[in-house]
Amino acid sequence: MEPLDDWTHVEKGLVNSKKRAWSLAKPSEGTDAWVARLWSRMDRDRNGYLTRKELDCEEFHNIIRAAVAPQSGLSTGGAAYSRTQVNVDGAIEMCLRKADVNKDAKLSFKEFRSLMRCLREPRMARYSANLAFALFDLDENHFVSRNEFRELYAFLLGHLPTLEDFEKEWDRLVQPNPLTSPGAAGEFADQRSYIRWLQSSENPVIRQQAPECQAHSAAPKATIPTSPTSSGSLGGLGIELTQTRPRWNQRFNCGVNPGHVNDSRPAGLREYFSRQQSMPELKRFWEAHYGSTFKRHLEAHYNPPASAPPCKLFPKSLSTEGGSPMTLPQRHSPGGSMRDLLSGEIVAWHDYWSPPARYRRPFHLQDRPLLPFETFGDVVDSSKIDSSPSTLRRHNKMLDARLRRRQKLGGPQRKCLLEAEPW
């Protein structure tokens, strides 16, 4: 085995990481040397193991994509097609689960070398169809829908297929489902149907992805995807329906999901898919993803908020009787009382809100017979007039007093000798 150098002359000339990852798997190079150099770059902490986080790098992503479609291009199925939604995380999880022999959630060099040998030569890979299925099973329900198969078919071809070709391949992939609608094709395709579609394809680029017969027999038996609440026999047919019960997916319903059924349930009784939430599982998820989003959830779990103090009872009337403190009146409803500042009498509180005087019709001059300008302000500019009920009552009392004084002095025919007399 050649020494473990970090960079070769060929790699130094390739700036693009995708081309560099593809150049590492040249046929002229030994598999062990290629795996050793790839290991030296991916094992960043030099502890002799590869974790899930270290596998989640750009080079390993490109190797997975190249293993799915080696004849279609470097990593994305050719230059004419660019994928936007590839479930690389699901493929990494599947590779880690298959290659991890001792089930310690990390890969040793021996386990990593066995995995790389399978990915370098797809014909030797027993689970190459499983890998492609995991890449495009975006919702991880172990079924491929119409939209997911469109992505997968375009990836294998290297370009977007026409509508006629896609419908033809989709009809060949799915089979009529006698349980749901006899004579009609289903809307989902399981892994066995996908492997059968690979083996019976007339396109050599697609047919080369078909695994051996033992891989076809080793594929898991799929069930009909139903809703989590559906169970029992199918209406009157006596056929027992089995439903897919996927594992707990940490990407769903982790936080606030408005309108979801979990909103009205406490944190220990929320449902993820078809089973109840486990509080230790949720705490482990928060601790593993201790970021800005889930940090608040974890801190709120360990530090519950203190009980809120009881609401203060605010009094609803303004009164100083009996030495009680002065409080706010009930301005939104009648019945309150307060002391008049001028007369000193207890009057009802009826200070309802009214539009300002500038937005109302000004008082006519006949309503103010005695010096309207000096008594009430400018008649034209009504904004200076205080038109509250208490002010109007005070002005009415003043007008009545002046009228009585004028009548006592002789009426309007008497000439006033004093300048202060309000004629």
Q: State pLDDT tens for residues 227-237.
A: 333 333 333 33
Point out which residues pair with 272 in neighbouring strands: 275
Q: What is the pLDDT of residue 290?
A: 67
Encode pLDDT of 211-222 as tens digits.
Answer: 654 444 444 444
What local confidence, expressed as pLDDT, does residue 159 receive? 77
Among 193, 181, 191, 200, residue whose Cα is nearest residue 219: 191
Residue 323: exposure state from Cβ atoms within 10 A (0-12, 13-18, ≥19): exposed
**Would you say residue 53 has pLDDT above 70?**
yes
Take residue 31 and report the two structure tokens written for it. Answer: 């598999």
Most confident of the following: 42-46, 244-248, 257-261, 380-384: 42-46
User: Residues in the chain, how many?
Assistant: 423
The percentage of the chain sitting over the pLDDT mark of 70, rounded to a whole number, equals 40
| pLDDT number for residue 357 | 53
Confidence of residue 401 (pLDDT cuts 50, 70, 90): confident
- What whole-number distance in Å separates Cα of residue 135 and Cα of residue 227? 23
Tell me which CATH code domain 9-218 carries. Answer: 1.10.238.10
Residue 190 has pLDDT above 70, yes or no: yes
Rounded Cα distance, 190 and 145, in Å: 9
pLDDT band at 168 (very low <50, low <70, confident <90, very high): confident
What is the pLDDT at residue 341?
A: 64
Per residue in 193-217, is it b (16+ CB within 10 Å) or e — as a string? bbbbbbbebeeeebebbbbeeebbe
pLDDT of residue 375: 43
In the predicted model, what is the mean pLDDT of the chain? 62
Q: At 181, phi and psi to the nearest 5? A: -145, 100
Which region among 74-88, 169-183, 220-234 has the lowest average model confidence (pLDDT)?
A: 220-234
pTM to 2 decimals? 0.34
Percent of the chain past pLDDT 90, that is, above it, reads 0
Sequence-ordered strand ranges (E) for 287-405: 337-339, 346-348
Whole-number Cα distances in Å, 214 to 114, 127, 217, 219, 351? 19, 10, 5, 9, 90
Residue 257 CB: number of other CB atoms within 10 A? 12
Banded pLDDT at 93 (limits 50, 70, 90): confident
Where in the sequence of the chain do the CATH 1.10.238.10 domains occur?
A: 9-218
**In this model, does residue 24 exceed pLDDT 80?**
no
Confidence of residue 127 (pLDDT cuts 50, 70, 90): low
Longest dimension (CA), the chain: 133
Residue pLDDT, tens place only, 239-296: 444 444 444 444 444 444 445 556 666 666 666 544 555 677 777 777 777 666 677 7
Tell me the CA distances in angstroms from 307 to 297, 304, 311, one per residue in order.
18, 9, 12
